[in-house]
Structure 1
Amino acid sequence: MSYREYVIAAYAVFAVVLLWDFVVPQLQIRAALHAARQRLLRADARKAAPAPDRELQR
Structure 2
Amino acid sequence: MEYRNYIIAAYAVFAIVLGWDFLASRLQIRRELRNARQRAARGAARSTNSDLSR
Question: Which TM-score applies when normalising by structure 2?
Answer: 0.80
Whether 2:18 is the aligned partner of 1:18: answer: yes
How far has the Cα of 1:3 moved from its partner? 1.2
Question: Which TM-score applies when normalising by structure 1?
Answer: 0.76
Equivalent in the alignment of 1:38? 38
Q: Take 2:12 and 2:29, find their aligned partners in 1: how far apart are those partners? A: 26
Percent identical: 55
Whether 2:53 is the aligned partner of 1:51: answer: yes
Cα displacement string for residues 7-40 of structure 1 (whole angstroms, at most 9, x for unaligned residues): 1100100101111221111111111100000000
Q: From the two aligned structures, give the one with the greater helix fraction.
A: 2
Gaps of 5+ in 1: 53-58
Q: Take 2:22 and 2:40, find their aligned partners in 1: how far apart are those partners? A: 28
* Count of residues in correspondence between the two structures: 51
Runs of 4+ in 1 over 3 A off after TM superposition: none
